[in-house]
Amino acid sequence: MRLRFVLGQVAKGMRHNLAMTISVILVTCVSLLFVGTGVLTQMQVGKIQDQWYSRVEVSVYMCVEGDPTPACDSQSATSEQVTAVEERLKSPELREFVKSVTHVSSADAYAQFREQIGDTTLGQLTTEDMLPESFRVAMKNPKDYDVISSEVSGMPGVQSVQDQRQVVEPLLRTLNRATVMAWGLAGVMMIAALLLITTTIRLSALSRKRETTVMRYVGASNLFIQLPFMIEGALAALVGAGLAVAGLWAGLHFVVGGWIAPAMPYINVVGASDLLIVGPVLVAAAILVALVASMVSLAKYTKA
């Protein structure tokens, strides 16, 4: 009997405040879309770091004949200079930073270049002696690039030292900025959702003030009086959260899976399995926020 009464009050309240209920659903949906986007973007950053940071290498390029850079002065690196750089990279002082050192000869570099470029005009015009010898240095910690750079830059025969993080980090910075924007918009929308839920519950309580007063006089507990209003807010938030999760799934399926993943096959992208982690958290958070907002907004209406 009590359950039927509570559910009846919930249905009555949602009918009388239909426009406000729809507003709560929409604002909750949009705010959780931004929250979910922020979380998934941060997860994507983590995936890229896990995938690429372990593979990031430092490349030490030696001089080739005709190289106009001041370090080379158009002179090719001698075999003694190449050996000296290799010994320095494998020295005991750098052992704690360096995982491995791979020597890439001009012939190896040329073979890799032709494999990537193919039989194009550039490939045909490029000869083996135009490509420098180099060393690929795998780091134990990619952030220690400066250690290698300071040790070998300026050594005779060294043309340049390049860090592959320069390729990865611009993408990470872009994703981090997108995360910050998503979190900022999510914060604004969550505040709007809280205010809207609070206002909706208060209007519903005001419209049924006579009923709640009678219930209080006949000895109904505060929880029993508050329960219909709390369920109203929770249901609206639940629907909004469900729509947000559906929107995130559509984005992952059509945008990430259908567009980004095929265009960037070398990157592990977030997918439905990640949404299975994020989705339940969003739903639980929406219901919790709605319940807390309802209890706070109803406090003065259930005082004895």
SS (H, E, C) 76-113: CCCHHHHHHHHHHHCCHHHCCCEEEEEEECHHHHHHHH
DSSP 8-state code for residue 56: -
Q: Is the dihedral of CA 110, 113, 117, 123 positive or negative?
A: negative
Residues of the chain with pLDDT under 70: 1-17, 19, 51-55, 116, 118, 121-125, 164-169, 171-172, 204-226, 298-304
Q: Where do runs of H (alpha helix) occur along the chain?
A: 2-16, 18-52, 79-89, 106-117, 121-125, 145-152, 165-207, 209-217, 222-250, 261-263, 272-298
CA separation, residue 118 to residues 104, 105, 122 (Å): 20, 19, 9
The range of the structural domain enclosing residue 248 comes to 2-52+169-301
Q: Does 130 lie in the same domain as 201?
A: no
- In this structure, are 37 and 176 located in the same domain? yes
Q: Do 250 and 286 belong to one domain?
A: yes
The answer on 34 and 128 residing in a single domain is no
Phi and psi (nearest 5°) for 303?
Answer: -75, 140
Q: The domain that contains 139 carries what CATH number?
A: 3.30.70.3040
Write down which residue in 108, 133, 163 finishes a domain. Answer: 163
Q: Which amino acid is at 254?
A: F
Distance CA 137, CA 160 (A): 13
What six digits make up the tokens of 51? 């995938």
pLDDT at 271: 87
How far is the C-alpha of 204 from the C-alpha of 14, rounded, in Å?
A: 8
- Shared domain for 198 and 70, answered yes or no, is no
Instruction: Specify whether 28 is located in the same domain as 174.
Output: yes
What was the pLDDT predicted at 80? 92
Q: What is the pLDDT of residue 171?
A: 67
182 with 296, same domain: the answer is: yes
Cβ pair 236, 290 in contact under 8 A: yes
Residues 33 and 137 in one domain: no
Q: 160 in helix, strand or coil? A: strand
Of the three residues 124, 139, 163, the one that is the final residue of a domain is: 163
The closest of 216, 234, 235 to 225, measured between CA atoms, is 216
Residues 45 and 181 in one domain: yes
User: Which tokens hold the place of 236?
Assistant: 């609206």
47 lies in the same domain as 143: no
State residue 304's pLDDT score. 46
Verify that 74 and 138 share a domain, yes or no. Answer: yes
What 3-state DSSP class applies to 132? coil
Same domain, 47 and 64: no
Q: How many domains does the chain have?
A: 2
Axis crossing angle, helix 209-217 with helix 165-207, rounded to the nearest 10: 70
Tell me if residue 270 falls in helix, strand or coil.
coil
Helix 18-52 with 2-16: angle, nearest 10 deg: 90
Q: Please say which residue of 101, 129, 163 terminates a domain.
A: 163
pLDDT number for residue 122: 64
Give the sign of the dihedral formed by CA 35, CA 41, CA 42, CA 47. positive
